[in-house]
Amino acid sequence: MRNTAKITTAVLAAGALTLGLSGCGSDSGSSADADAPLVVAASSVPHAEILNYVKDNLAAKDGLKLEVKEFTDYVTPNTATESGEVGANYFQHKPYLDDFNKKNGTHIVPVATVHLEPLGLYSNKVKKIADLKNGATVALPNDTTNEARALKLLALNGVIKLKAGAGNDATPKDIAENPKKIQFKEIEAAQVPRSLDDVDAAVINGNYAVESKLSPKDDSLVLESAQGNPYGNFLAVKKGNEKDPRVVKLAKLLKSPEVKKFIEDTYEGSVVPAV
């Protein structure tokens, strides 16, 4: 059984805010003590699972003590990393991080890209994307970059057409053509899988799809291509901690052939190694 601490979002959010305001950091998460465990904030699937594989099979050989804390949202891991409550996080891609740093004044930087989770469109009501009816409702993740990513997926598959220049902050307001008059329901990313019975289709982040027992490879109506995809997920730290010896060791292990094989064998194409 994995020794992973599960923390409620509300408690951690409050704790991260308090730490940020007081300027205090956790000694277990900061880079002050290279012999202390490196505490890493992670989404449950696949990030915490990958980290626990490293912890259970690889870390000891490199003299790395690793502690994994699971989070259910996309905000607290960054605020906890900024405050020093944790030493690193592993859950996000670059467009999301850039937007988060800009909006929140945080200083999180990527260290090592590990994997890609292809975004997909899922439905309990239709078998093909062409079967979406006029006026159908499609759920989207409501954070800035993932909503734009979802709209781009729909545009690439002919459901809508986006305005010229629509970028990583696109919203339904940036739709130029919507021939089927699709209605969009914007939902917090972690909750989108639960909406499947209430909508005609939903665009779901790969980690939440896998966590909900959906196979991006087998169950999606359409799926992002991994080729040239800018949404690789990475290990990240607060700027200045990139050379923490524990972070350097973990980054090396996450890029190792052993982790690549673990991802390929465990997720069978639903999660794709970036190595």
Residue-range domain boundaries for the chain = 5-118+230-273, 120-223
Query: Do 139 and 197 contact (CB within 8 A), yes or no?
Result: no
Q: Work out the average pLDDT over 210-216.
A: 90
User: What fold does the segment set 120-223 form as a domain?
Assistant: D-Maltodextrin-Binding Protein; domain 2 (3.40.190)
Q: Work out the average pLDDT over 195-204.
A: 97
Query: Do 129 and 157 contact (CB within 8 A), yes or no?
Result: yes
Query: Residue 80: pLDDT above 60?
Result: yes
Pick the CATH number of 5-118+230-273 from 3.40.109.10, 3.40.50.920, 3.40.190.10, 3.40.50.1100: 3.40.190.10
Q: Where are the beta strands (DSSP E) in the chain?
A: 5-6, 38-43, 66-71, 88-92, 108-116, 120-122, 137-141, 161-162, 175-177, 183-187, 201-204, 222-223, 233-238, 272-273
> Token pair for residue 65?
């003590």
The residues pairing with 139 across neighbouring beta strands, listed in sequence order, are 185, 202
| 3-class DSSP assignment, residue 125 | coil
Structure pTM?
0.74
**What pLDDT score was predicted for residue 22?**
35
**What pLDDT score was predicted for residue 59?**
98
Of 80, 99, 179, the C-alpha closest to 142 is 99
Which letter, b or e, does each residue of 176-203 get, where b requires 16 or more Cβ atoms within 10 Å of its Cβ? Answer: eeeeeebebeebebbebbebbeebbbbb
**Are 5-118+230-273 and 120-223 equal in CATH topology?**
yes
Query: Residue 14: pLDDT above 90?
Result: no
Q: Work out the average pLDDT over 47-56.
A: 98
**What pLDDT score was predicted for residue 239?**
98
Predicted confidence band of residue 13 (pLDDT cuts 50, 70, 90): very low
Integer CA distances (angstroms), 200 to 98, 159, 216, in order: 32, 13, 17
Query: Residue 17: pLDDT above 80?
Result: no
| 3-class DSSP assignment, residue 172 | helix
Average pLDDT of the chain?
A: 88
